[in-house]
Amino acid sequence: MLAAGLADKRHIICGPPGPVSGRPPELPLFPVAFVESMAILKPLLLAAALLSTTLPVAAQTRPVARAGQQSATSLDARLSQYGLDLTQRLREVYFAPGDGRAVALLSDAITEFTARKKGLLPELARLSPAARQQALAQLQHSAATQDRQTLLTSPAAAKMAARRQRNPALDYAFRHFDEAQLTTLEPFKAAAE
């Protein structure tokens, strides 16, 4: 009886016996005992997966920092990231393959960085005057500002002047970018008046 049960399982795993020529059936890909043990492991694996999703993960918890220290550090990081992102965007503009792409990049940069500047200015205003001057001085002497100055003196910048003379749309986009004063984190002229 046991042999008949194994033959049935072997038929399921291996497929039907070979042709009528009497060849023995092909060997199973997995031994029958292995397949039966996998049936036992399936509920255990499911239970382990469910338990692992309900346990808290230590990597998901954040260390608690003092609010004042965290906000100053966070503001410094955002100011630095603002400068780095702006420099990267200008690099993309100067090395854009065509004038249309440069105009589109400038337009996107004006929209994005105007919003980011509007978000940073109130936070800078909440700082004491000494802390604000220190933050702005660090930004002026950052690597991003030096990279931007290097970019503005590069051959790509010299070529951009000629491209601006040939394409009025590109010239207009650059004038609009300059009017937005995105390279300085001073209050907008309209807000100062």
Query: Where exactly are the structural domains of the chain?
Result: 1-16+28-45, 72-192
Give the confidence band of 135 by pLDDT, cuts at 50, 70, 90.
Answer: confident
What confidence score (pLDDT) does residue 67 get? 44
What confidence score (pLDDT) does residue 52 get? 61
Q: In the predicted model, is pLDDT for residue 142 greater than 80? A: yes
Sign of CA dihedral 129, 133, 139, 140: positive
Residue type, 144: A
pLDDT tens digit string along 48-87? 666 665 545 444 444 444 444 445 568 888 988 999 999 9
Residue type, 135: A
pLDDT above 70: percentage of residues in the chain: 60
Which residue in this structure is represented by tokens 């010299």?
158
Burial class (CB in 10 A: 0-12, 13-18, 19+), 55: exposed
